[in-house]
Amino acid sequence: MSDKKQVAAALAQALPEMDVKEIEAKIERPKDSSNGDYAFPTFFLAKTLHKAPQMIASELVEKVNQDGFEKVVVAGPYINFFLDKAQVGAKILQTILTDPEHYGELDLGHQANVTIDYSSPNIAKPMGMGHLRSTMIGEAVARILEKVNYNLIRIDYLGDWGTQFGKLMAAYEMWGDEAEVKKDPINTLLKYYVRINNEADEHPEYTEAGRNWFAKLEHGDEEAWRLWHWFREVSLERFQRVYKMLDVNFDSFNGEAFSAQKMEEPIQLLRDKNLLKSSRGAEIVDLDEYNLPPLLIIKSNGTTTYITRDLATALFRKRMYGHAKSLYVVGAEQETYFKQLRAALKEMGFNWWNQIEHISFGLMNLNGKKMSTRKGNVVSLEDVLNDSIDLARKQIEEKNPDLKNADEVAKEVGVGAVIFHDLKNYRRNAVNFKLEDVVKFEGETGPYVQYARARAESILRKGGIRDFSNVDLTMAGAEAWELISFLGQYSEAIKRAAVNYDPSVIAKYALEVAKKFNQYYAHTRILEDNEAQPARLALTQAVSDVLKSALDLLDIKAPDEM
Ligand code: ARG
């Protein structure tokens, strides 16, 4: 229970006619701590009770449950609450230490299913830094929602269908060399793809050829399908390497191609509801009423579109998973698109249209430059991660030359640094990525948090106690109140992060725990041999546990030594 809830509960006894939630909303935090940790103003009761606030306060205070408070006193129209910090702190520590893995968990989801569509890179294009954002935000959101008891279904909706596939096949037909592709699949395919895109302006027939290949694919042409399988397989292998580095695992890789086979249903439904209109040979859904551009469902050449596949996908997912929410972690440039998708489902009569939620995010700039995949000036995610690991290794070698598993730790720190940097600001903000700022042991970085936890672990190794069940935890409570009460706010942070699909709440929380612990460490000799030592070690253990848990929610490893 948070402190504020404790105050509300104490007041609830005295105010049976009021709802606890209402009471909680009225509780204030006095600016001056000499007025207590919390204050309850009574002005608002004056009208109903026909009494002066001062009077109400002095009557109420008699009925308040004083357990867990050092004192509860009247100050004019206010009731001021002074927490019994030793007791409250001990309770927080005890809760953490009894079951660290589950600390902070809540039941908001009651095990309801949530599908989350994230990462979703496109085959035969490299997975760029843009997809990093979707992958990391998606994974963190999934972990946060699991922590509040939703059941997550992770879907990598591969972009394995569409005209760009036709383009790639056309390029392969013109310049393809099987042996070359086999030797270095992704780079070779990328080379073809980049070339056809670069030359398409001068050679409109390339675009046409691409369209034709795609039509072949849609009509089940054998050669087209053989190429499709091959391209998909080699691309997926490459993506899997990145997912492995990031420790991200999907439940499904059903992508656009899978949905492309299921398009009769949405098209038929749109027709039955009279929602399809023809417009210059194409078939569209008018969304004027929503102030949205029309949806192109079938192009004039008869091929279906990206959004038609997404409609089929949505129907399939609802039927397959019976989800309570269906989340899509996709860049902010697709905001209108997802509004259209929701509007179309609403028009089709599905009352679950609003379960579809777009978790949008801002651009990632590399050293101030935008990143694009179409013309090939792409930074591969794998390269960035490897650079980050190298830089982490260098710094670790300087700091701790004797570290045994230095390679493993360098990986955990290098990858963690990139992830943390991505997640530490609200997702809709743009991210500027500069490696030197990302892999730093000081400042608002992942390594800073990991290092604080490794320091806690090192203290604990020296301290030698790991079982705190017989320790008087009240000893730590008063002297480290700032830190302990903040540890007590973990589940509130988790709730905020879950409700807003916002991992930055957890990242900022972890930073703050690390900062507060470092301050505590600077002022307190934790290992000094005195009667407070066991309680101080218990606090150190609780810090380590909470940091590990928070890092885990962000999909970042917590090395014990670094
Ligand atoms: N493949 C798309 C891209 O790279 C993202 C797909 C998002 N998911 C979806 N169901 N539309 O932009």
State the distance from the centre of ligand 1 to the C-alpha of 119, rounded, in angstroms: 8
Q: Is residue 304 scored above 90 in pLDDT?
A: no
State the distance from the centre of ligand 1 to the C-alpha of 530, rounded, in angstroms: 59
State the distance from the centre of ligand 1 to the C-alpha of 383, rounded, in angstroms: 22
ipTM over 0.90: yes
The closest alpha carbon to 135, from 411, 422, 510, belongs to 422
Q: Give me the sign of the Cα torsion angle 501, 143, 515, 363.
A: negative
The ligand 1 atom nearest the CA atom of 159: 1
pLDDT mean over 457-481: 89
State the distance from the centre of ligand 1 to the C-alpha of 121, rounded, in angstroms: 7
Residue closest via CA to ligand 1's atom 11 equals 310
Q: Is residue 348 scored above 90 in pLDDT?
A: yes
Query: CB burial class (10 A; 0-12, 13-18, 19+) of residue 340?
Result: buried
350 contacts: CB under 8 Å, gap ≥ 6: 318
- Any domain includes 281: no
State the distance from the centre of ligand 1 to the C-alpha of 195, rounded, in angstroms: 23
State the distance from the centre of ligand 1 to the C-alpha of 257, rounded, in angstroms: 12
The per-residue pLDDT for 477 is 65
* Distance set, CA 61 to CA 58, 74, 79, 306, 534 (Å): 5, 7, 7, 64, 37
Mean residue pLDDT of the chain comes to 92
- Any domain includes 328: yes
- Any domain includes 374: no
**Per-residue pLDDT tens for 246-286?**
999 999 999 999 999 999 999 999 999 999 999 999 999 99
The per-residue pLDDT for 373 is 44
Residues with CB under 6 Å of ligand 1 are: 117, 120-122, 157, 159, 310, 313, 328, 330
Q: Look at 263 and 373; give whichever has higher pLDDT.
A: 263
Same domain, 212 and 331: yes
147 contacts: CB under 8 Å, gap ≥ 6: 104, 105, 106, 494, 498, 553
At residue 159, φ and ψ (nearest 5 deg) are -80, 75
**Per-residue pLDDT tens for 490-525?**
999 999 999 999 999 999 999 999 999 999 999 999
Same domain, 445 and 326: no
The ligand 1 atom nearest the CA atom of 255: 10
Amino acid at 42: T
State the distance from the centre of ligand 1 to the C-alpha of 330, rounded, in angstroms: 7
Measure the CA–CA gap between 488 and 104, rounded to whole angstroms.
Answer: 9
The ligand 1 atom nearest the CA atom of 131: 4
The closest alpha carbon to 413, from 432, 433, 388, belongs to 388
Same domain, 118 and 198: yes
pLDDT mean over 181-198: 88
- Of 129, 326, 330, best ligand 1 pocket probe by most atoms within 8 Å of the beta carbon: 330
Q: Give me the sign of the Cα torsion angle 334, 505, 317, 218.
A: positive
The ligand 1 atom nearest the CA atom of 122: 1
- Any domain includes 259: no
State the distance from the centre of ligand 1 to the C-alpha of 334, rounded, in angstroms: 9
State the distance from the centre of ligand 1 to the C-alpha of 356, rounded, in angstroms: 14
CATH number reported for the structural domain that contains residue 15 in this entry: 3.30.1360.70
Chain CA centroid to CA 231, Å: 30
383 contacts: CB under 8 Å, gap ≥ 6: none
Length of the chain: 562
Residue closest via CA to ligand 1's atom 5 equals 120
State the distance from the centre of ligand 1 to the C-alpha of 157, rounded, in angstroms: 7
Residue-range definition of the domain harbouring residue 463: 381-553
Tally Cβ neighbours within 10 Å of residue 65: 14
Q: Look at 378 and 266; give whichever has higher pLDDT.
A: 266
Measure the CA–CA gap between 159 and 315, rounded to whole angstroms.
Answer: 18
- Any domain includes 95: no
The ligand 1 atom nearest the CA atom of 130: 4
pLDDT mean over 395-400: 93
112 contacts: CB under 8 Å, gap ≥ 6: 150, 151, 323, 324, 325
At residue 442, φ and ψ (nearest 5 deg) are -120, 160
The closest alpha carbon to 343, from 281, 294, 405, belongs to 294
State the distance from the centre of ligand 1 to the C-alpha of 348, rounded, in angstroms: 22
pLDDT mean over 189-209: 93
pLDDT mean over 319-341: 97
How large is the C-alpha radius of gyration of the chain?
A: 29
Measure the CA–CA gap between 284 and 297, rounded to whole angstroms.
Answer: 5
Q: How many domains does the chain have?
A: 3
State the distance from the centre of ligand 1 to the C-alpha of 293, rounded, in angstroms: 19
pLDDT mean over 41-60: 93
- Of 118, 129, 157, 315, best ligand 1 pocket probe by most atoms within 8 Å of the beta carbon: 157
Tally Cβ neighbours within 10 Å of residue 331: 16
pLDDT mean over 344-357: 97
Q: Is residue 562 scored above 60 in pLDDT?
A: yes
The per-residue pLDDT for 175 is 96
* Distance set, CA 22 to CA 9, 17, 57, 74, 489 (Å): 11, 11, 17, 21, 20
Domain's final residue, options 307, 333, 366? 366
Do the Cβ atoms of 295 and 284 come closer than 8 Å?
A: yes
- Any domain includes 438: yes
Same domain, 119 and 73: no
- Any domain includes 536: yes
Per-residue tokens: 345: 């489902």
Q: Look at 2 and 457; give whichever has higher pLDDT.
A: 457
Percent of the chain with pLDDT over 90: 79
Q: Give me the sign of the Cα torsion angle 472, 478, 479, 482.
A: positive
Same domain, 341 and 445: no
Same domain, 348 and 385: no
State the distance from the centre of ligand 1 to the C-alpha of 118, rounded, in angstroms: 8
Same domain, 386 and 475: yes
Q: Does pTM surpass 0.95? A: no
The ligand 1 atom nearest the CA atom of 313: 10
Find the distance separating the first CA and the last CA of the chain, reported in whole Å.
34
157 contacts: CB under 8 Å, gap ≥ 6: 117, 120, 254, 255, 256, 313
Question: What is the arrangement of strands in the sheet containing 113-117, beginning at the earlier edge strand?
Answer: 151-155, 113-117, 325-331, 356-361
The per-residue pLDDT for 378 is 55
The per-residue pLDDT for 367 is 67
Lowest mean pLDDT segment, chosen from 1-10, 216-225, 334-343 = 1-10
The closest alpha carbon to 513, from 536, 535, 484, belongs to 484
- Of 120, 333, 378, best ligand 1 pocket probe by most atoms within 8 Å of the beta carbon: 120
Q: Is residue 374 scored above 50 in pLDDT?
A: no
Residue closest via CA to ligand 1's atom 6 equals 120
Residue closest via CA to ligand 1's atom 10 equals 310
Q: Look at 372 and 397; give whichever has higher pLDDT.
A: 397
Percent of the chain with pLDDT over 70: 97
Chain CA centroid to CA 390, Å: 26
Q: How confident is the model at residue 478 (pLDDT cuts 50, 70, 90)?
A: low
Q: Look at 459 and 34; give whichever has higher pLDDT.
A: 459
Same domain, 132 and 71: no
Query: CB burial class (10 A; 0-12, 13-18, 19+) of residue 243?
Result: middle
Q: How confident is the model at residue 382 (pLDDT cuts 50, 70, 90)?
A: confident
The per-residue pLDDT for 185 is 81
- Any domain includes 417: yes
CATH number reported for the structural domain that contains residue 149 in this entry: 3.40.50.620
The ligand 1 atom nearest the CA atom of 328: 8
Q: Is residue 63 scored above 60 in pLDDT?
A: yes
Lowest mean pLDDT segment, chosen from 177-191, 194-208, 372-386 = 372-386
Do the Cβ atoms of 120 and 134 come closer than 8 Å?
A: yes
pLDDT mean over 354-380: 72
399: region left, alpha or beta (phi > 0 left; psi from -120 to 50 alpha): alpha
Residue closest via CA to ligand 1's atom 4 equals 121
Same domain, 60 and 141: no
Q: Is residue 189 scored above 60 in pLDDT?
A: yes
The ligand 1 atom nearest the CA atom of 331: 12
Q: How confident is the model at residue 476 (pLDDT cuts 50, 70, 90)?
A: confident
Chain CA centroid to CA 371, Å: 22
Lowest mean pLDDT segment, chosen from 117-126, 150-159, 284-293 = 117-126
Beta strands in 439-538 (DSSP E): none
Same domain, 33 and 168: no
Residue closest via CA to ligand 1's atom 3 equals 121
366 contacts: CB under 8 Å, gap ≥ 6: 129, 379, 433, 434
Q: Is residue 1 scored above 70 in pLDDT?
A: no
pLDDT mean over 11-22: 92
Same domain, 70 and 120: no
Q: Look at 322 and 380; give whichever has higher pLDDT.
A: 322
Helix (H, G, I), strand (E, B) or coil at 451: helix
Same domain, 322 and 243: yes
